[in-house]
Structure 1
Amino acid sequence: MSFLPARLRAPSPAGAVAGVFALDGLLFGSWAARIPDVTAAVGATHATLGAALLCLSVGALAGMQPAGVLCARFGAGRVTTAGAVLSALAVALPGTAGSVPVLGAALVVFGAATGLLNVAVNSAGVQVEARAGRPMLPALHAAFSLGGLAGAAAGGLLAGSLGVAAHLTAVGTAGLIVAAATAGGLRRLGTAPAPDAVVAGRPVGRTRVPVVLLGVIAGCTAFGEGALTDWGALHLTQSLGASAGLAAAGYAGFSLAMAAGRLAGCRLLVRFGETRLLTGGALLAAAGMALALVAPSAPVALAGFVLVGLGFANLFPVTIARAGALGGSGGVALASTVGYSGLLGGPPVIGFLAEHSGLPVALATVPVLAVVAAALAALAVLVAVGRPRVPVRAPLTRLVTAAAREVGAPAAQAARRGGSELPALLTAGGPTGPGPRIRPYPGLEMLAA
Structure 2
Amino acid sequence: MPLSRSRVAVAAAFLAQGLVLLSLTTRLPELQDEWGLSDVALSLVLLMMILLAGVGSVVAEALAKRRDSALLLRAGLLLVGVAVPVICLAPTTAVFVAGVAAYGLALGVVDASTNMQAVALEHRYERPILPSFHGAWTLGGVLGALLTLATSDLPLEAGAALGVIPLSVAFAAFLPRDHGPTELAAQVAVPWRPIVLVGIAMVLFYMVDTAVQTWGPLFLDHTFSTPERYVSLSALGYLLASGAVRIAGDPLVRRYGAVAVLRVGALVGAAALAVVVFSTSWPMAVAGFSLLGAGVAVVAPLSFSAAARIAGGEGLDPAVRQARVDAVIARFNQFNYLGALLGSVMTGLVGADSLRVGFAVPMVLVLGIIPLAAAFTPRVAASVRG
Q: Which amino acid aligns with 1:349?
A: M
Cα drift, residue 286 of structure 1: 1.4
Q: 2:382, 2:231 → 1: CA distance?
A: 42
Q: Which amino acid aligns with 2:158?
A: A
Q: 1:137, 1:19 → 2: CA distance?
A: 14
Q: 1:253, 1:247 → 2: CA distance?
A: 11
Number of aligned positions between the proteins: 372
3-state SS of the aligned residue for 1:220? helix
Could you tell me which runs of 5 or more consecutive residues in structure 2 were left unpaired when the two chains were aligned.
Answer: 312-324
Q: Retained in 2: the 8 A contact 1:68–1:202?
A: no
Give the structure, 1 or 2, with the largest relative contact order (CA under 8 Å, sep 6 or more): 2
CA root-mean-square deviation:
2.5
Residue 85 of structure 1 corresponds to which residue in structure 2?
78
Residue 61 of structure 1 corresponds to which residue in structure 2?
54
Of 152, 162, 168, 1:171 maps to 162
- What does the per-residue CA deviation read over 1:146-177, in whole Å, with 9 as the maximum and x for residues that have no partner? 0011011111211222x22331x211112211
- The answer to whether the aligner puts 1:268 opposite 2:267 as a matched pair is no
Residue 322 of structure 2 corresponds to which residue in structure 1?
none
Cα drift, residue 52 of structure 1: 0.7
Cα drift, residue 315 of structure 1: 0.1
For structure 1, which segment, 339-348 or 357-366, has the greater mean C-alpha deviation from structure 2 after superposition? Answer: 339-348
Return closer, same or farther for 1:38/1:131 CA change in 2, 3 Å cut-off: same
Residue 140 of structure 1 corresponds to which residue in structure 2?
133
* Greater Cα radius of gyration, structure 1 or 2: 1
Residue 356 of structure 2 corresponds to which residue in structure 1?
360
Q: 1:20, 1:225 → 2: CA distance?
A: 19
Residue 396 of structure 1 corresponds to which residue in structure 2?
none
Q: 2:60, 2:357 → 1: CA distance?
A: 36
- What does the per-residue CA deviation read over 1:232-282, in whole Å, with 9 as the maximum and x for residues that have no partner? 011112112211222112211111111111111111121111111222222
Q: Retained in 1: the 8 A contact 2:65–2:186?
A: no
Q: 2:271, 2:230 → 1: CA distance?
A: 22
Residue 343 of structure 1 corresponds to which residue in structure 2?
340
Percent identity between the aligned chains?
28
- What does the per-residue CA deviation read over 1:68-113, in whole Å, with 9 as the maximum and x for residues that have no partner? 2323322222222221121222122222346655443322210100
Q: Which amino acid aligns with 1:324?
A: A
Residue 231 of structure 2 corresponds to which residue in structure 1?
247
Cα drift, residue 202 of structure 1: 5.6
Residue 315 of structure 2 corresponds to which residue in structure 1?
none
Residue 369 of structure 1 corresponds to which residue in structure 2?
365
Q: Retained in 1: the 8 A contact 2:310–2:384?
A: no
Residue 436 of structure 1 corresponds to which residue in structure 2?
none
Q: Which amino acid aligns with 1:165?
A: E
For structure 1, which segment, 216-225 or 67-76, has the greater mean C-alpha deviation from structure 2 after superposition? Answer: 67-76
Cα drift, residue 447 of structure 1: 7.1
Q: 2:373, 2:226 → 1: CA distance?
A: 36
Q: Which amino acid aligns with 2:174?
A: L
- The answer to whether the aligner puts 1:314 opposite 2:310 as a matched pair is no
TM-score normalised to structure 1 length = 0.77
3-state SS of the aligned residue for 1:186? coil
Cα drift, residue 11 of structure 1: 6.2
Q: Retained in 2: the 8 A contact 1:60–1:113?
A: yes
- The answer to whether the aligner puts 1:297 opposite 2:281 as a matched pair is yes
Q: Which amino acid aligns with 2:167?
A: L
Q: 2:177, 2:186 → 1: CA distance?
A: 21
For structure 1, which segment, 243-252 or 216-225, has the greater mean C-alpha deviation from structure 2 after superposition? Answer: 243-252
Q: Which runs of 4+ in 1 moved over 6 A?
A: none
Return closer, same or farther for 1:200/1:64 CA change in 2, 3 Å cut-off: farther
Return closer, same or farther for 1:190/1:38 CA change in 2, 3 Å cut-off: farther
Return closer, same or farther for 1:97/1:373 CA change in 2, 3 Å cut-off: farther
Q: Which amino acid aligns with 1:340?
A: Y
Q: Which amino acid aligns with 1:334?
A: R
Q: Retained in 2: the 8 A contact 1:56–1:344?
A: no
Q: Which amino acid aligns with 2:335?
A: V
